[in-house]
Chain A
Amino acid sequence: MKKPLIKVQPAANAGIDCTNSRRNFLKIGSMAVVGSGFLLACSSDDDMLNPPVQPGAPFDLGSGDLGILNYAYALEQLEAAFYTNVMDGAYWAGANAEERLILEDLYKHEVIHRDFFKAALMAAANGNADVVLPELEFDFSSVDFGSRDSVLGTARILEDTGVAAYNGAGSLIQTPDYLVIAGKIVSVEARHAAAIRSIYLEDPKAFAGDDVVDANGLDLALAPPAILNAVKETGFIKTEFTANQLPTG
């Protein structure tokens, strides 16, 4: 595991027990945590155009809806980068027709999501690139792109994490149009997650298995600090950034 470089620093009074029991990203599939248990005392600053902090400091995702869009952009950058590597790997080159087709589509969809967020963020920021998350650098040296297990196992985690992240962020969004956009994307992530689980796991019920859907029939939902800490644990993201001002509810 690479040294984690993302600094996730939720507001001191905002992150009540959001991370302690959820350190192991690889176990994220067994977690079913609803954002509603995530209480807060600070009100988020809605000013989307906070000036960036001093030069040299790590980028902060920002506050309000802009912060949430940057957060989603970070996750989509991660997914897009992962599948770009998959497409260059030996496993994909030799996989069966269905698995090749599925992974190629996931690659396309995630790159489209990434590019969409970049454009949407530039628009939301009125063209001020200083408040838009830069292109991140990644390190996938812990993934063996020649191995079916490594590729599909990582894909499963990333897709389930994407579902949990969007579900947990929905209530933090203030602009209806953004909520609809998030909804348009999360269901595609859930379609991905089901397909990957279906081809990778033996259990014919794994597409919506009991490890991700609870007794009420509810999918995963995790607040940003839990997601970012889980992502940090993977060591996939090399570029340092902070999430100090994200809305908390």
Chain B
Amino acid sequence: MNILNFLEEFTSENLVNKTSSRKDALKTFGSLSKKALLVSIPFGLAGSSKAYAFQDQNAATGALQLALTLEYLEAEFYRRALDSGVLPAGSRAEAVYQQISKHETAHVEFLKAGLGDNSLESPQFDFTAGGAFDPFNENSTGQEVAYAQLLALAQAFEDTGVRAYKGQAGNLMGTAFLTPALQIHSVEARHASEIRRLRADVMGYDLDQNALGWITLDNRGPGMPEATAAVYEGEEQITQGGVNLVDATAFDAIAVSQAFDEPMTGQKASEIAGLFIVS
């Protein structure tokens, strides 16, 4: 299975193009406050909103297949992490991984059931990414380094999962899968928050913005491999719906970027997952 090929078709770019044409909003702004004036052009006004209750079965199927692939990856990762002996027995880390493992395994089963005949077999994974990592300490890298990598990869997978589900939401509009997909999406975000804080705690990082559960700018945080920079590209967004929120609020780009998580295209998510897929 070539994940890159089958994922190409459902990047979310087409969504942007379906956005309704913008009305001439500026002319009505004469009486508004300065902050409102900063809303240069609002996002697609909802005048013709009925048009978006579309149901594109292929796009929805593709979105769910991407989701299933990512869940296969996460489920196998956590299962092998728990089997590896790298996590200290009885630790908070072990409990956290157990809970996440339970959810990722449930997500695989849920998505397989939802996809039915369109379901996919699990790819074959290589969590060393061709020898770059040894998170399960299978190549004598040592417990300490393996543990650090186990935490770093978990953070990368969870933050990717959040962005990937968000990127597919539009492809699920008008289908029965949208709500469950959103319900998985927020579970991934809970995981991401906990893994980020767990990693900072275990690694003894300074208690600062990168030690918390949310993403600051496009920071991957201390100790995250260079290769994970792609997971955070674009997270530094400070303009939402045409509103520059640094200008429109009392807060800086750090807080504004933290307050919104950004979507990721299917293509990008597949490229990140592809680093760990053998076939």
Contacts and interface: CB of A to CB of B under 8 A. Distances in A.
B250 interface: yes
A174 interface: yes
A44 B213 CA distance: 38
A126 B27 CA distance: 9
A120 to B, nearest CB: 5
Interface in B162-195: 162, 165-166, 169-170, 173, 176, 178-180, 182-194
A191 B161 CA distance: 13
A138 interface: no
Contacts, number: 265
A181 B173 CA distance: 14
A167 to B, nearest CB: 5
A175 B52 contact: yes
Interface stretch (B78-86, B221-229, B251-259, B268-276): B251-259
A10 interface: no
A127 interface: yes
A142 interface: no
B203 interface: no
A90 to B, nearest CB: 22
Nearest to A205: B99
Interface of B is mostly: helix
A233 interface: no
A186 B240 CA distance: 14
Interface stretch (A12-20, A146-154, A207-215, A236-244): A207-215
Contacts of A98: 207
Contact of B179 (A34, A177, A185): A34
Contact of A188 (B36, B214, B251): B214
A174 B50 contact: yes
B29 A127 contact: yes
A205 B198 CA distance: 12
B179 A181 contact: no
Nearest to A120: B241
A8 interface: no
A124 B213 CA distance: 31
Contact of A127 (B15, B25, B261): B25
B23 A198 contact: no
Interface stretch (B104-112, B116-124, B126-134): B104-112
B212 A105 contact: yes
Q: When A and B form their complex, which 6 residue pairs have the shortest distance between CB atoms, in order from nearest?
A: A123-B42, A217-B106, A190-B189, A174-B49, A187-B189, A218-B183
15 contacts: A35-B179, A46-B46, A64-B46, A105-B214, A126-B23, A167-B183, A175-B46, A176-B18, A187-B192, A191-B190, A192-B213, A204-B92, A204-B96, A208-B194, A217-B104
Given A35-B179, A115-B35, A176-B52, 11 more contacts: A105-B214, A116-B240, A122-B32, A123-B43, A124-B46, A170-B179, A181-B240, A191-B213, A204-B92, A208-B100, A217-B104
Interface of A: 34-36, 46, 48, 64-66, 97-98, 101-102, 105, 108-109, 111-113, 115-116, 119-120, 122-124, 126-128, 163, 166-168, 170-171, 174-181, 183-195, 198, 204-205, 207-209, 213, 215-221
